[in-house]
Structure 1
Amino acid sequence: MQKKKKLLVIIGPTAVGKTKLSIELAKRFNGEIISGDSMQVYKGMDIGTAKIKETEKEGIPHHLLDILEPEQEFSAAQFQSRANEAIQEIHTRGKLPIIVGGTGLYIQSVIYDYHFSESPSNPEYRQELEREVKEKGIESVFQKLQAVDPDSAGRIHPNNSRRVIRALEIYHCTGKTMSEQLSEQTKEWKYDTCIIGLTMDRDLLYSRINARVDEMVNEGLFEEVSSLYHKGLRDCQSIQAIGYKEIYGFLEGNLTKESSIEALKQNSRRFAKRQLTWFRNKMDVKWFDMSNLEQFSKKTEEISAYIAGKLCNKANK
């Protein structure tokens, strides 16, 4: 029986410190990093997605960053395919692939080897929902999704009308939610995987999120979003991302600058809460508390020892 290839996964909510830890672990375990973030794939969307800067990479190769234009669509199935390709390439160089990110379904699709099939469509039903969005607003349609598929409703942003409608269309056509279809699949581990989860005291995490938003604004977030806005980007997947839709509200005159910043902070905090709920309910994770920021080195040693026992020692048995 062929041995499974090794894979390290680092997950956790936004602003918990995944990027910094991933660089340290990549240096220790001869790794290359694969972004597990659904929005960092887009070119020109750097500040709002908290994309790692070149100066922060410390020579560690990164994959699945800046691979699409902002107007292009991206799905879990596409991520799965590209991530698997990257994992194979990294192993051919004798290195350890490390997926780092916070998009739960994307990461699940790789480690559990989900099989995505084309779900049937119903154009008439889809058009009916699109009319309802225009007449009553997205909130009305999103409430329908919450009623039939709360799992997907927790994963899809309420403003992303395309994905909300698609999730309802799948349920309408099949009688099963997208989440049910995926959960029915046999969860076989495609790789010899070690999953590390980072958590933090909630008040500290929220404080870090607020500080990160202020830093994004200082680094030019409004200018970055304005550039996309003036290119004519409107109803596309990328612009529904937290950090972009709030600034669009300001650019379209619906929010003041201050209220758009506050909305961004609030939405980021809510997103972090949803991320933690998802990871705790859906994945087999070894959690590490990163609340004591002064003991980062000590915590890194602890995490490294766990990874070595989980991935490296098994190879010697």
Structure 2
Amino acid sequence: MEGLDKEIINNVLENTSSKEEAAKVVSWFVDSIEGQNYLSESMDRDFYLMEENEDQSDLISPIQSATVLAKINKATKRKQLKNILFKVAAILIPFVFIIGMSIYLTTQVGLFDNSNYSEIYVPKGETMRILFQDGSQAYLNSGTKMTYPEKFGLKNRKVFLEGEAYFNVSSNKKRPFIVETDKANITVLGTSFNINAYGNDSIVEVVLDEGEIVLGVDKRSYAILPGQKVTYNKVDGLTSIANLDKSLQESMWRNNVLHFSNTPLLDVVKTLNRRYDIRFVIEDSATLEYTYTLTSKQTSIEEILLELEKITPVKFVLTGNKVHVNL
């Protein structure tokens, strides 16, 4: 634990430590992945014990009245929940913890429903990587917007996405990771997957590389297996699942690689528009009948257009910040 003594950590969590020890442990919780994982596991363990105690209520003598039994159970549960909330407070309000003030947790703290959200937008032509406080990662593609809480809640880890992203999610079955889009949501228990859900596209695509996810759309749920791709059509509501030979190809954009597999020209144009922030003008509708299969590491729009011209008769003429498409 990077030199931190377990006894000191326990003293801090039990509010019996010195101010210096508290400051050191809180800094470890906030600034290190190891500290965040330690706190999360400790909270999960306490929740588990709470659930176990609920199932052991018959250990109290049946001679006791229902009123006494209710008081005992309520007091026990309140003490356990206080311990859990105190641990959460170490991250959510460390400044109170550090100066040694008493902490009074109420429903206004927002531990179960965090209302403090941040929003990030990735401009066209750029990509971005985000590291969450639980160790999970998200790679955001061009033209993507994500809204996420400053701190994840106790019940789940939820973010809102419009665009394309690849997630590596830290496993925590008691606090599922949830990605919500305008028409679908993905519940994750610990996995790696790619989701394409741009607001102006008619479909949502999710590709699972490893782990376990559940796609929820129109009050229906679909369990997805590694190597599968699920496609949801926002117009007609149809959902399909396909097995992929190479699922990782769907997220090659993370490594600045363009990949098309029998992709219609219109979708190719949308991808290039987001990646290069350049406008395409379709001057001949007949060009939309063509599809493209291509994997390219070329970085300039000029080189990409030359490769596309080798595949079909379609011509791409670059003028300034505009590409004219014709036969």
Sort the TM-score into its range (normalised by shorter chain). under 0.3
Q: Which has the higher helix share?
A: 1
Structure showing greater radius of gyration is 2
Q: Which has the higher strand share?
A: 2
Q: What TM-score do you get using the length of structure 1 for normalisation?
A: 0.20
Identify the structure with bigger relative contact order (alpha carbons < 8 Å, sequence gap 6+): 1
